[in-house]
Chains A and B, each alone.
Chain A
Amino acid sequence: DGGITQSPKYLFRKEGQNVTLSCEQNLNHDAMYWYRQDPGQGLRLIYYSQIVNDFQKGDIAEGYSVSREKKESFPLTVTSAQKNPTAFYLCASRDDRRGPTEAFFGQGTRLTVV
Chain B
Amino acid sequence: AQSVTQLDSQVPVFEEAPVELRCNYSSSVSVYLFWYVQYPNQGLQLLLKYLSGSTLVKGINGFEAEFNKSQTSFHLRKPSVHISDTAEYFCAAINSGGYQKVTFGTGTKLQVIP
Which residues of chain A have a CB within 8 Å of any CB of chain B?
Answer: 4, 6, 31, 33, 35, 40-43, 45, 48, 50, 56, 58, 88, 90, 92, 94, 96, 99-100, 102-108, 110
Contacts and interface: CB of A to CB of B under 8 A. Distances in A.
Given A40-B9, A100-B32, A94 B42 contact: no
Contact of B42 (A31, A40, A108): A108
Interface string B2-36: 00001001000000000000000000000010101
B102 interface: yes
A110 B41 contact: yes
- The A contact surface, by secondary structure, is strand
A102 to B, nearest CB: 5
Contacts, number: 62
Interface string B81-112: 00000000010101010011111111100000
A100 B49 CA distance: 10
B25 to A, nearest CB: 13
Interface residues of B, number: 26
B46 A42 contact: no
A43 B90 contact: yes
B57 to A, nearest CB: 12
A48 B106 CA distance: 19
A106 B41 CA distance: 11
B99 A56 contact: yes
A107 B43 contact: yes
